[in-house]
Structure 1
Amino acid sequence: GYNLKEIAEYIDIDYATVSRVVKKIKYCFKGELGLTFKTVSDPLII
């Protein structure tokens, strides 16, 4: 069993990891592809 606090903490940790990865991807795509990648990815990020 999980309680609400544990779930919230897990989601928060998970979200932090995902956002770090997204930032790294965005950083990698800076330059020529930057604008295109940002345009494509922005609607997917809530």
Structure 2
Amino acid sequence: MPSLARMGGKAVRGIGLARAESGLTLKSAVYNLKRMSSLLEMA
């Protein structure tokens, strides 16, 4: 199971498109940072 799905997936609760978009952007950034750190550990 991908890590992003464990973090709540793409479901974002919030009022308004801007808030939902910023929440999803933040989740994606955190996912990418976690992935980068795990890839750097393997190298």
Fold similarity call, TM over 0.5: yes
Partner of 1:28: 41
Q: Deviations over 1:1-46 (max 9, x none)?
A: 511000000000110000000000000111xxxxxxxxxxxxxxxx
By relative contact order (CA 8 Å, sep 6+), the higher-ranking structure is 2
List, as ranges, runs of 4+ consecutive aligned residues in structure 1 with deviation greater than 6 Å.
none
Decide which structure has the larger Cα Rg and report it: 1
TM-score by length of 1: 0.61
Q: Which runs of 5+ in 1 are unaligned?
A: 31-46
Matched length: 30
TM-score by length of 2: 0.64
Distance 2:22 2:29 in 1: 11
Residue identity over aligned pairs, in percent, reads 10
Name the one with the larger helix percent: 1
Partner of 1:17: 30
